[in-house]
Amino acid sequence: MDQRFDTDKYESGYIPFYVEWVRPPRRILEVGVRKGGSLLLWCALWPSVESVVGIDIDELPVLPDPRITMFRADQGDTLALHRIATETGPFDLIIDDASHIGELSWHTFEALWPHVASGGVYVVEDWGTGYRADWPDGASYSPQPPPGHTAGMAAMIKRLVDEVEDGNVDRLDIIRGMAFVHKSA
Ligand SMILES: C[S@@+](CC[C@H](N)C(=O)[O-])C[C@H]1O[C@@H](n2cnc3c(N)ncnc32)[C@H](O)[C@@H]1O
């Protein structure tokens, strides 16, 4: 893929992990759109893509690909997320690249996880904000006994571990900045 789109996923080094850990999806939902570069990237990356849904709290961009649909909503509005996903899902891939606030991301996961199709993947990006003292709910790391974090994105990621034990999540792959939450086929 030689075309570059306006998304920071290149600089973050995330794209190879999507290629490795996500089977070519047909339907995608991304929360957090900005200029829409990542939505265009998904369409170019996987020829399998039939539809891409974007959700953002801010003004939505106008994008040239007819496979892309966008909705304006706050990721904390779980009823809106559920309504949009019911109308447009289920999805083979859902990405949370929005506020990176732990509580909001957790509620988003709770609202959207049921809309991940069997064998699908839910990706949480940039969870390292949970370690940033300058982030609204970031907490500087303290080498104390676990859980270490009870708030912020780091706590949100640790909460996903509970979902593995509960049997709601089939597999969890965590790397720096990204978590891949897999649903059983
Ligand atoms: C990091 S940017 C998304 C970048 C985009 N995914 C890309 O790769 O080009 C984060 C986006 O999340 C949106 N956002 C922030 N808080 C939000 C919220 N509470 N609900 C929905 N979207 C939110 C912002 O408006 C912004 O467009």
Nearest ligand 1 atom to the CA of 35 is 9
Taking only the tens place, the pLDDT of each residue in 10-54 is 999 999 999 999 999 999 999 999 999 999 999 999 999 999 999
Mutate to test the pocket of ligand 1, among 12, 29, 30, 33 (most ligand atoms within 8 A of CB): 33
The 3-state DSSP class for residue 182 equals strand
- Give the pTM: 0.97
Residue with the nearest Cα to atom 17 of ligand 1?
99
| d(C-alpha 31, C-alpha 150), whole Å | 24
Q: 97 C-alpha vs ligand 1 centroid, how far in Å?
A: 6
Q: 171 C-alpha vs ligand 1 centroid, how far in Å?
A: 26
> Among residues of the chain, what percentage have pLDDT more than 70?
99
Residue with the nearest Cα to atom 26 of ligand 1?
34
Residue 86, Cβ density class (10 Å: 0-12 exposed, 13-18 middle, ≥19 buried) = exposed
Ligand 1 pocket list (CB less than 6 A): 7-9, 30-34, 37-38, 56-58, 74-76, 97-99, 104
Q: Decide: 94 and 123 in contact? Cβ < 8 Å.
A: yes
Residue with the nearest Cα to atom 11 of ligand 1?
32
At 175, which helix (H) or strand (E)?
A: strand 171-175
Taking only the tens place, the pLDDT of each residue in 165-178 is 999 999 999 999 99
Q: Is the peptide bond before 143 cis (omega within 30 degrees of 0)?
A: no
If you count DSSP H runs as helices and E runs as strands, how many of each does the chain have, helices first?
6, 7
